[in-house]
Each structure stands twice: as C-alpha cells, then as structure tokens.
Structure 1
Amino acid sequence: MFLGLAVSSESKPRIKIEKNNLTLNGSYLNWVIPTPQVAASATGVWAAIVPSSGAPTARHEASYVQAGNKFYLMGGRRIKPVQVFDPVNKTWVNKVNTPIELHHFQAISIDGLIYVVGAFTGSYPHEKPVATIYIFNPATNKWITGATIPAARRRGSSGVVVYNKKIYMVGGIKDGHWSGHVNWFDEYNPATNTWRTLPNAPRARDHFQAAIINGKLYLAGGRRSSASTNQTFELTVPQVDVFDFAAFKWATLPSSGNIPTQRAGAATAVIGNDLIIIGGESGSQTQAHKHTEALNVTTNTWRRLADLKQGRHGTQAIVNNNNIYLAAGCGNRGGTPELNTQEVFYFSGRTTPNGSAVTQSKLSTPAGVNFGAITVNSTSTKTITLTNTTGNQGILVSSLTKTGSSYFSVSAPYAFPFVLAPGKSVSLTCKFNPKTTGSQSGSILIKHSGQGGSTTVTLSGSGVKASVKNTEAVPELAAAKNQYLSTYPNPITDGQFSVHVPEKLTGEVPYTLVNQTGTIVLSDKLNLATATATLPFNFSGRYLNSGLYYLQITQGTQRYTVKVLLEK
C-alpha cells in the first residue's frame, strides 16, 4: 500500500520510521500503523508450532484431545506417556504412561475426563480390540478402568464422538487390519453405565474419525482394511454418511458429495459448517497425504484448503477458538517415520487458545445415616444422596463396599462404574432389617475419582421388640349371633390393651395367640380377682414378630376371638 503525506516544504520535516510507528518530526505528527494480520483466506494457512520447552514424543495411531485449557497427546504404538501441551505457553510436560498399549482410537473428553473407547492393542496385522473403556483423569494424572464394552460389539479404529454427554461409537474393524470391518453404531451413557445398540450405518468403514455438526453425525473418509487379501490401504470409502439424531435415521450424501481425495487415517475437525478432513494415507501414494479438504454441510460441496506443511496420518485434531491443532502422526503410509512435529491451521490469523482449567470435584455425602429404633424383622429404608460439588469435573463412582452388620444393605441405581456430572446428584438406597434386638453399626466405602478418592458413610440403628398397635373387633365365634367384642384404647402405644367381653368373667381366664397359619405362638392365662367384663392384656414384654394374630379367650363353654395387629 502507498501512503502519501502532504507536508509544507518550508517546514522541512524529518521522517523517522521505527517498527510500526511513522513519526513526522517538525509537524508533530505521529501515525501508528497496526501490526499486519494474515488476510482472510478461503483456503487458510498451516503453520508450524515451535515449543518453548519440551516436545511431543514421536508416535502414530495416537490421539490428541483437549480437556480444560490443556491439550493431551496419548496412546500410539507401544506404551508411551501421556503428554500435556499448554497451547498458550507452548510447553510440553510428560505425565503417566498408558496402562496398556492403546492405539487406533478417537479420544473424547466429557466434563474434564478423557475417554478411550474402541481402542486396539497389540501388533499388526491382528491387533485386538480393548475390552474396556479407559479414562484418564487430568486432575490426578491417573488412569481409571471404566465400563466393559459388550463382547459382541468390540472393535477398534472406530469413529467416536460425544453428543449430549453420551458417547457414540460407529464403524471400526474387529481383527486389526486383517478383516471384520463393521457398520455398527452404539451409544454409551456414562451417567447410567448403559449401552444401546443403534441402527447400523449405511456401510462399513474403519480408520476414520467422526464429527458432529448441527445435531448430525458425519462419517467421511476411511477404508475397509483387508490385509487378508493384501488390500490394507486400497479399499477406501468415498461416500459421506450422515446420522440425524432428531430424525433418528441415516442418509448418504449424493455422489457429488463424495470426498474428493479418498484416504484413511485422516484427522477430522469442524469449524462452523465445515467438516474438515486432514492428511491421511492411501494405496495411491507412499507419502502420507498433505491434503486438507472441507465439506460445507449446508451446500454439501467440497473445497480444497491449504496443504499440511508435513503430510501425516494416525493422529487427531483439536479445534480451539477457530484454529486447528495437530501433533505427531506418521509421515508415510504404514508405520514409519513417526513424527514429533506440530502444526496449526487458521483461516484469518492465529487466535488465543481458550478453555477453563480442570478443577477436581468433591463427592458430597452425609457423614452418617441413623435408622433409630426399628422393630425386629421389619425393614426401614433411607436414601443416601451423592452430589458432585465444588469443581467442574465429572466424578466416576467406581465401587461401593458395605462393612459391619449384615442387617444393613445398600444398592445403587446403576451398575458400577457410573459418572456423576458436575452439580448432579444420585441416590443410594439403604435398608436396615434387624433380626435381633440391640444396637447395630456398619459403614459404606464409596470409591470414586473425586477429591480424596473415597468417601465413607457410617450406618447405625437398633432392633427392638414388637409392640401391639391395635385390635380389631370381630364377631365372637362361639357366642350368640350378632355378639361383638371391643378393644381400647385405640391406638395402643405401650403394648397394653383391654378387651371388653359380653359378660363378666372371674378367676383364671386362659387365652392363646394364634398366627395366620394357625400356629399357637403364645398360651397364658389371666387371673381375675373380681368379676369384670374388661380383660387387661400386656404384650409389651413378649417377643413377637410383627403381623396379624388371633387372640382366643376361653372360660368354660365361652370362647371369644379378636384380631390383634402387632406394630412394626
């Protein structure tokens, strides 16, 4: 750009240019020229990232994912450390190794926990699907063993995404690079630890990454690996398949929407309405692809973007503040050379990386639960509420162990392990069923990924004898027709009650207490000093199970029966 200044010749100004300042001395004119920005570009720019300290470990078939305000490089062939990249300060720090060899997975992050779902372990060409979900906790630098993947649905090299805090795994292959590519589609809900089989995708594919745009799941790129027929790289998939979560059905874009450069092992990113496929490998060339291509999901048309500075496959992309970050991967198809370089893509200039630091949450529970006095052989139920508080990280509740009295029992609403999201609560059901009298105690140990790693809730209660609650007047069985008995007081609170009979009785009055099966559980007698029609009874010192009984009173030829309900 040409900048013209109109200045009087008499003033004889002196012009001095320093960096971005143009100063016109003598006329006291200062003109500040802004720092140049990269012009907006339809194709964008890839630029190398030079770390200020540390470096990514060379690896491929690895994953790169953001949690909080940091980037995490993990997995790949052979066991390697998790590495943390601070995108603002450009520093790398090594963390703990993976628990086993994990590779060929698309990592995802939910509420500050990083999930590895559908990974492979082992060597080419018969890599084995990993049977469980592994979870990395950035706050504690620890790996946690998560849920088991259903045996009939295990595979690796799948597309894995998060939608509404549920994990979706699609496609993949069962036997490494050999055979068994599938079109399966599964949903896993970490909050309830439940799996659901969803409608199959239109076609099988593996070695690809999936993405969500506007409530739809997009599958682009990938292949059907077939080392068994010597076609490991050749059977690439051109079609783009789309699952609409609202309509709950699959569709395939018209052939005009096929990916222009067929390849597998590419990284996938989303900026706005663009599905961006980066790098990859194929049977058409030895070098890893530099291609970057974008599908506009509004028009279903592709366009070519800027090439990578270094062709690569076998890594994952992070999108942060409209920039795309890549690290590691492999420079040629297959497994060598592994790369330890980084790149960033932008359309209109570098942006400042953003994100909130992961803060470990606390699992809040009551310190203890006291059931109080409970009648022997009866059950009292209480709830124990677990709440994720303080931090912004999900808490994986991995197990629950009860110790102490066997009269206590506890159950959770879901099978372990399940995840409690920040601010959410779940209730455990705790029961106390004393079989004997006396005080009882116990405790519940809850293991989890929150602060402290475990929480203990104490349990207490005591068993007491049954008492009589009430009696119900019923017809006297052996007496005259329409003759009834009555009892009082009603209700009975201390186990003592009276039965009013039609005529006065005196002396010894035998009685029996019979349960509902007809078994006599108590035989005794009253000793009445004076004649009375009101007979006093006291069962408060008797050991009786709660339930309904028949009290039979006899004297001579007279027999009276009344129902007695013992209180729990």
Structure 2
Amino acid sequence: MRLRPVLPLAIALLMASGTAHAHPDHPVAPPVSGPVVTTPTYTDGWRGLAPIGTGPRQEHSVTAVNGKVYVLGGIVPDAAGGVTTTDRVEVYDTRRGTWSEAAPLPVVLNHPNVATIRGRIYVLGGLGGGASWQAARDSFVYHPATDRWTALPPMPEGTERGSAAVGTRGTKIYLAGGMRTLTPGPGGVQDTVDTVSSYDVLTGRWETLPSLPQARDHVGGAVIGGALYVLGGRDRGQVNVRDTVYALDLATRRWTERAPMPTARGGIATAVVGTKIYALGGEGNPAPGSGSVFAENEAYDTAHDRWQRLAPMPVPRHGTAAVAVGDTIYVPGGGTAGGGAAVVAVNDSYRPRG
C-alpha cells in the first residue's frame, strides 16, 4: 500500500453538481445552493480524525479488516465541477491515524454492496458510472495480504443492484433491497427493489430469500442473533424516507416488523456494536436550513426492541457509510447537502457510552 501524509484536521467542504432527484411520480427535495460551511464541535463520544487522504468521497461503502477501515468506490468531484464514479480504495489505519491506498476496484462502482468474511473483502455488485447509474453484476474478493482482487461469478441475472442492506453470518452474505437504476438530474429514475438474496463465500452459491415486505434502498442493515435487520431507507426518491424496521428470521425465513426508527431517514450509515445497531445521518430532512441532511444518531437495541437517541453527528451528512472497530464506529466521507451537492472528506468516529 502507498502511504499518504496525514492532512491537518480542517474540514474542507467542496461544492459539486450532479444532484440525484426523486422519481418523477414523487416530490423533489428543495434545491441546495452555495457551499455548506460547518465548524464541528466534537463532544459526547465523537472525535474528529484525519480527513480522507485523497479528498472528498460519497456513495461509497466501508468495511474493516485487522483494525483498518477500507473505503471502497463511490463518487468523487471531477474537473468540470460535477461528480464521477471511482474505483479508488483507501485505507484508514485506526491505530496510526494514517491513510494509504490499496489496489483499486477492478471496475468503477458507486453504492457497492460490501462485506468482510474471514479477513477477506467481498464486493457483490453496485451501481456503475456514467450519466445514469445502472446496476452491475460484477463481483470480486479482495485479499489484504496480497493487495489483489479476484473476480467472482457475477450476481444472478435479475438480482443485480446497489445500495442494499448488507449483513453476514457464518460464510454467507445477505443482501436486502437496493436499487437497479439511479439517474442523477431532474426527474431522474430511482428504481427501488424488494429483492433479498444470500451468497455463500465457500460454495459460491446464490440463494433467493423471501422478499422484503416493502421495497427499500439507501437502507441500513445488519445480522445479529440469527436475524437480518433492515432499517429505514427510502422508496423511489430521496424524500420518500421510511422509519420501518424489518427483521428476517434466518431459521424460519419469516419477516416481522419491529419498533420503528424515531426519525425516518434514507441514505443512512449503520454499524453494529454488541447487540445494538447505530443509525447515523441520512437524507430527506424537510427542516428549513438542513440542506435535506440529518444529524441524527440513534441506536436500535435488538435484544429489547427499542430505540435510543444519542449525541448527533458534529458534521451532519448522508451518502456515507460506517463500520465498527472494537467499540468505536468510524464514519468517513459523505455529503453535507442533498444529492451530490456537497461531497466531503470529513472523517470522524463515535464511541458509544455503555
């Protein structure tokens, strides 16, 4: 890996075009104009970290291996003032506080579906680049020891999607919901699905599971205690946010509905510490001056089916992702205004109390 120097902890926010709008049949979030300026205050378990090494990133995925946080794919600002999909993979060493680059993805992807099993990173589809982001079947596994990607058989035809809820159990990766198309621009299509499937990393077999009760994308997900949880998200548009929490019993394969989120949100980042799922940020905030972005940080206790409101994000954002290393949650990148309007390099962490 190629080490990069740590940048000063200054929050540089960049304005970019390429905002993704709602489905034509649904309302569109109010436009956001001008750069979003934020002076964060890190308290109550939050800590500011070195910004992403090569700059702003959004609509990526993250995972962790051996104390290192991997940031995969997503969109980055381009020279024309818009955004473009990237193959870049960057690594944050949580012990040293430094960034490095790893071998890039074999293809460019935003909203990739990512999971780690037995120290290897799996990418199972996502959305490709271009004027309209279309679902890709491409799948790969990354070996951190050799810094190499290996191609896997593609996702079964008809199940390809990005922005799915992802969870793992044993040798299986579970994907729930997602979207097949996201066309940035006024009236752009956002094609949400209710598809649920699993991939066994040992056998290479895909399996179709009972569909979600309702279609969701930009949704949170995790597997805890034999159940796949799907939290919040949206349906065909960034303002069509939902507060639902669904749980699929992996033994009986039956869906149940659990306590709803205190705040309906799409574009959230989720991470697991113990038996709790932490849902951070999101998009679709109708409050004036919010830029359509949420600061909320709420935890779902899977053991007691209840929610807890926690210290909000110092830098509210959506289109980011989160992962826990030990008892600390890392949240690199995202956008501080709706759509792709303000991609940032912000990197921070949250350590829950108790």
Residue in structure 1 matched with residue 129 of structure 2 by the alignment = 122
Structure 1 residues 191 and 303: CA distance shift in structure 2, 3 A? same
Map 1:38-77 → 2, pairs under 5 A:
44-50=44-50, 55=53, 57-77=55-75
| Kept in 2: contact 1:118–1:158 (CA 8 A) | no
User: How far apart, CA to CA, are the structure 1 residues paired with 2:171 and 2:220?
Assistant: 18
Structure 1 residue 329 corresponds to structure 2 residue 334: yes
Kindly tell me the number of residue pairs found equivalent between the two proteins. Answer: 295
Structure 1 residue 101 corresponds to structure 2 residue 108: yes
User: How far apart, CA to CA, are the structure 2 residues paired with 1:146 and 1:300?
Assistant: 37
**Match among 194, 204, 210 for residue 215 of structure 2:** 204
**Match among 152, 161, 167 for residue 167 of structure 2:** 161
Using the TM superposition, give the Cα deviation of residue 80 of structure 1 relative to its aligned residue in structure 2, in angstroms.
4.3
Higher strand share: 1
Tell me, what secondary structure is at the counterpart of 1:144? strand
Query: What RMSD over aligned residues (CA atoms) do the two structures have, in Å?
Result: 2.0
Using the TM superposition, give the Cα deviation of residue 301 of structure 1 relative to its aligned residue in structure 2, in angstroms.
1.9
Residue in structure 2 matched with residue 133 of structure 1 by the alignment = 139
**Match among 69, 80, 85 for residue 92 of structure 2:** 85
Using the TM superposition, give the Cα deviation of residue 105 of structure 1 relative to its aligned residue in structure 2, in angstroms.
2.3
User: How far apart, CA to CA, are the structure 2 residues paired with 1:224 and 1:123?
Assistant: 22
Q: Which moved more, 1:154-163 or 1:215-224?
A: 154-163
Structure 1 residues 209 and 147: CA distance shift in structure 2, 3 A? farther
Structure 1 residues 130 and 347: CA distance shift in structure 2, 3 A? same
Q: Which has the higher contact order (CA 8 A, sep 6+)?
A: 2
User: How far apart, CA to CA, are the structure 2 residues paired with 1:278 and 1:268?
Assistant: 6
Using the TM superposition, give the Cα deviation of residue 244 of structure 1 relative to its aligned residue in structure 2, in angstroms.
1.1
Using the TM superposition, give the Cα deviation of residue 144 of structure 1 relative to its aligned residue in structure 2, in angstroms.
1.9
Output the amino acid matched with 1:110: I
Using the TM superposition, give the Cα deviation of residue 108 of structure 1 relative to its aligned residue in structure 2, in angstroms.
0.7
User: How far apart, CA to CA, are the structure 2 residues paired with 1:345 and 1:283?
Assistant: 22
Using the TM superposition, give the Cα deviation of residue 299 of structure 1 relative to its aligned residue in structure 2, in angstroms.
2.7
Structure 1 residues 69 and 302: CA distance shift in structure 2, 3 A? closer
Structure 1 residue 275 corresponds to structure 2 residue 286: no
Map 1:189-268 → 2, pairs under 5 A:
189-225=200-236, 232-253=237-258, 257-268=259-270
Which structure 2 residue ranges, 5 or more long, are not aligned?
Answer: 1-42, 76-84, 184-188
CA deviation vs aligned residue, 1:512-549 (integer Å, no higher than 9, x gap):
xxxxxxxxxxxxxxxxxxxxxxxxxxxxxxxxxxxxxx
Output the amino acid matched with 1:122: G
| Kept in 2: contact 1:106–1:316 (CA 8 A) | no
Residue in structure 1 matched with residue 197 of structure 2 by the alignment = 186
| Kept in 1: contact 2:87–2:107 (CA 8 A) | no
TM-score if structure 2 supplies the norm length?
Answer: 0.78
Q: Higher Cα Rg: structure 1 or 2? A: 1
- Percent sequence identity is 31
Tell me, what secondary structure is at the counterpart of 1:130? strand
Which structure 1 residue ranges, 5 or more long, are not aligned?
Answer: 1-42, 226-231, 350-568
User: How far apart, CA to CA, are the structure 2 residues paired with 1:346 and 1:69?
Assistant: 15
- Would you identify which runs of 4 or more consecutive aligned residues in structure 1 move more than 6 Å? none
User: How far apart, CA to CA, are the structure 2 residues paired with 1:44 and 1:184?
Assistant: 38
| Kept in 2: contact 1:281–1:333 (CA 8 A) | yes
Q: Which moved more, 1:271-280 or 1:173-182?
A: 173-182
Using the TM superposition, give the Cα deviation of residue 283 of structure 1 relative to its aligned residue in structure 2, in angstroms.
5.0
User: How far apart, CA to CA, are the structure 1 residues paired with 2:267 and 2:299?
Assistant: 16
CA deviation vs aligned residue, 1:118-154 (integer Å, no higher than 9, x gap):
3111246x31111121222222222222111111211
Residue in structure 2 matched with residue 110 of structure 1 by the alignment = 117
Output the amino acid matched with 2:128: T
User: How far apart, CA to CA, are the structure 2 residues paired with 1:118 and 1:50?
Assistant: 29
TM-score if structure 1 supplies the norm length?
Answer: 0.50
Output the amino acid matched with 2:309: R
User: How far apart, CA to CA, are the structure 1 residues paired with 2:309 and 2:92?
Assistant: 29
User: How far apart, CA to CA, are the structure 1 residues paired with 2:61 and 2:54?
Assistant: 12
CA deviation vs aligned residue, 1:162-199 (integer Å, no higher than 9, x gap):
11111111101222251432211111112111111111
Structure 1 residues 249 and 55: CA distance shift in structure 2, 3 A? same
Residue in structure 2 matched with residue 173 of structure 1 by the alignment = 179
